[in-house]
Chains A and B, each alone.
Chain A
């Protein structure tokens, strides 16, 4: 799986609690992404990072924050979990070292984290 590890793989949490999901890569790819997958919606981009401490919002960023203090780690935090954030969360990476641009490179995905907010 292209050296991407998501943790935890499963989590059940209560409404109102903060939750942090971790994505760790061993590939030294420049870009890292967090998507959520819900039935009927495909994958929707939450946030992404294009370098250490460089992040940008995706289409469904409300209620989420991210941090990237090291190339290999990208953290997704649900500040106060709600039932609407019950989903499967996927981390992805792209643009390997030496690639001139991320324009024509594929993305590699982690195995996903199934989060249930009760």
Chain B
């Protein structure tokens, strides 16, 4: 089963609005990462948050992590049509295996 599950599965908003995506996971983690995938392309890293961090910012991105609830959220502020993509959370579990486990993703559509 997936370590990370994103919610919602799909999100449609207007340009200029904020988009929030949530991720839940099951086991203890070392860090959590968010990736973006444009249609037909590979994944691109957006931001990494360590297990001892609670919030992180990068440009229009804000990520929060609540390890007690095993959840994270990705906020994209002032969205643009170019933000249209699928967004995935990925966790590096605290088990010694150095491989990311991905959720099923959120498809974001930003209407111009």
Contacts and interface: CB of A to CB of B under 8 A. Distances in A.
Nearest to B2: A42
Interface of B: 2, 4, 30-31, 33, 35, 40-45, 48, 50, 88, 90, 92, 97-105
Contacts of A112: 40-42
Given A42-B105, A109-B44, A104 B99 contact: no
B102 A103 contact: no
Nearest to A108: B45
Nearest to A43: B102
Contact of A48 (B4, B41, B44, B99): B99
A111 B41 contact: yes
Interface residues of A, number: 29
Contact of B98 (A40, A43, A50, A90): A50
B99 A58 contact: yes
B33 A106 contact: yes
A111 B85 CA distance: 15
Contact of B100 (A40, A56, A107): A107
A117 interface: no
A74 interface: no
Contacts of B4: 42
Contacts of B103: 42
B42 A1 contact: yes
A118 interface: no
Contacts of A50: 98
B42 A104 contact: no
10 contacts: A31-B98, A41-B2, A45-B100, A104-B48, A106-B45, A106-B48, A107-B43, A107-B90, A109-B43, A112-B41
Contacts of A43: 43, 88, 90, 102
Contacts of B31: 103-104
Contacts of B40: 112
A20 B106 CA distance: 31
Nearest to B88: A42
A22 interface: no
Nearest to A47: B99
B50 A104 contact: yes
A47 B61 CA distance: 31
